[in-house]
Structure 1
């Protein structure tokens, strides 16, 4: 038994004619008949009975055809998947990101990428950068977007962009009239700080410490987004990363440039050991284009 014999059998069964089967397969009628005869000898039973100028399948042929159809459907599915893999439109991808980028950027990137790839499936995980690096190292995530580089040998880190911190204030705050807020402008003001577990907190604190500018630390917030709730309630001012600032949902909060420049690095984290799917490479390329456009407005 070979594939060509099965193709001839499937073509005769589906068209009901040796002649039409030959036309479908682009071979002669005698060639079809020869393939069917070979297939019958292999099976050990007759597949077709002649009824005048027509042929009719035997009951054995009908039973065999059911299995052949399953095989044909399976082969067609394999071909579709192979085509989709080649065209970078099929597969499953797990993307991890630190909370701000997971809320603000990754959904828009995934939506846009999926529009032309209906067979692509995504899982998006929000986690802090160190947990994200561990997830990529353990291959629980295909790629990650982090604010710190990976410190494990299983991953490689690519610096994508350096983004400028932003100052956020209530719209009624007197400083809201300024286009750029200097650190000295915030001296003695109620300040909403990031929590000590947030690595960005150290960079912001260092600016004020180096300049010896006192702040009135009223609240520590676990995530950048939480600071917006307090600022919207006019309970203080804050300095946050630009990705969180771009995700501002509060009309009462205004966003201003902050001086001196505080950088928030954005890193791509990927595993070293495993060759990525074409889909992964296509997604990374799409994501980098999106982030480059964002960074052009917020680069340090």
Structure 2
């Protein structure tokens, strides 16, 4: 199988019909159908089951799809780098972050960065924790920003912010009258939890376990930003990282300390295989400044 054949296979798996795959690849439908038949003949086993003009990938086809993902990720990174060199864009950085940072610290840092360097081009994406680390490791992104990193995963990591999880609710919520909110307090009200298995969710569950309080919730969400939206809507009370409610200026939320104190860190990660560009280093300096200003506003944690 060559790269073009794998690309065609992946398109058909995604699109489920040869017509849509042909449109995506800029080919004719008969060309895609013939290519699939030729590929099945070449590998010696079926790749798709045909039902009502739709193609359903076999287990073997899905295996090939999943195993080929790193190849196309690297290929995309290489193509992007070639384009940068072709256009002589020395001032081009690619950054990626998890939502608490991608919707908070980084936009503020990016604004300051681009005011000083208006000609620099930036590719910016917000993804899940694991995807951020993978993107930095394979070179798709130059810098990654995550919260709750518990090991360096083979990457260079720099902690630029440390704080404690906080409790958020509508200003007119009874919990807003408390100086500090505890897991015991949250037993009495609708509680918005962070998803089990996520970094932030694990931190909060540890606090409940430490307080010997069962972790029961009304709603469970993956991201702190989602929890803030629901809390503002009056769905309940949430425990989130300290940055999400601070930077989301449209939220009308009361923010209270959460006890027991639950530490969380924000980190910048980069590859150990390649140095970052001067532009990326300059952006990281802006991130440090915004984080320091925010830490000062939040006070001792």
- TM-score of Structure 1 vs Structure 2, range by shorter chain: 0.5 to 0.7
Residue 94 of structure 1 aligns to a residue whose secondary structure is strand
Partner of 2:188: 188
State the Cα distance separating 1:295 from its structure 2 match: 2.2
Partner of 1:108: 108
Cα distance 1:95–1:150, how it changes in 2: closer, same or farther (>3 A)? farther
Partner of 2:294: 294
When normalised by structure 2's length, the TM-score is: 0.65
Partner of 1:246: 246
Partner of 1:277: 277
Cα distance 1:282–1:233, how it changes in 2: closer, same or farther (>3 A)? closer
Whether contact under 8 Å (1:188, 1:216) holds in the other structure is: no
Name structure 2 gaps, 5 residues minimum: 1-87
State the Cα distance separating 1:150 from its structure 2 match: 5.5
Matched residues in 2 for 1:138 and 1:215: separation? 37
Partner of 1:42: none
State the Cα distance separating 1:146 from its structure 2 match: 1.1
Partner of 2:22: none
Partner of 1:178: 178
Partner of 2:139: 139
Whether contact under 8 Å (2:94, 2:124) holds in the other structure is: yes
Partner of 2:257: 257
Whether contact under 8 Å (2:108, 2:290) holds in the other structure is: no
Name structure 1 gaps, 5 residues minimum: 1-84
Whether contact under 8 Å (1:191, 1:215) holds in the other structure is: no
Cα distance 1:248–1:282, how it changes in 2: closer, same or farther (>3 A)? closer
Matched residues in 1 for 2:142 and 2:93: separation? 6
Matched residues in 2 for 1:129 and 1:251: separation? 24
Whether contact under 8 Å (1:90, 1:117) holds in the other structure is: no
Partner of 1:225: 225
1:154-192 per-position Cα deviation (integer Å, ceiling 9, x unaligned): x21122222111101122222212232233322332210
Greater share of residues in strand: 1
1:174-218 per-position Cα deviation (integer Å, ceiling 9, x unaligned): 221223223332233221001124211111011112212245411
Partner of 1:75: none
Match runs of 1:6-85 below 5 Å: none
Whether contact under 8 Å (1:137, 1:152) holds in the other structure is: no
For the aligned residue pairs, the C-alpha RMSD in angstroms reads: 2.2
State the Cα distance separating 1:120 from its structure 2 match: 0.6
Bigger mean CA offset, 104-113 vs 173-182: 173-182
Partner of 2:268: 268
Whether contact under 8 Å (1:192, 1:227) holds in the other structure is: yes
State the Cα distance separating 1:90 from its structure 2 match: 5.6
State the Cα distance separating 1:255 from its structure 2 match: 1.1
Q: Which has the larger radius of gyration?
A: 1
Whether contact under 8 Å (1:97, 1:132) holds in the other structure is: yes
Matched residues in 2 for 1:139 and 1:119: separation? 23
Cα distance 1:106–1:259, how it changes in 2: closer, same or farther (>3 A)? same
Matched residues in 2 for 1:259 and 1:152: separation? 30
Partner of 2:85: none
Matched residues in 1 for 2:97 and 2:171: separation? 30
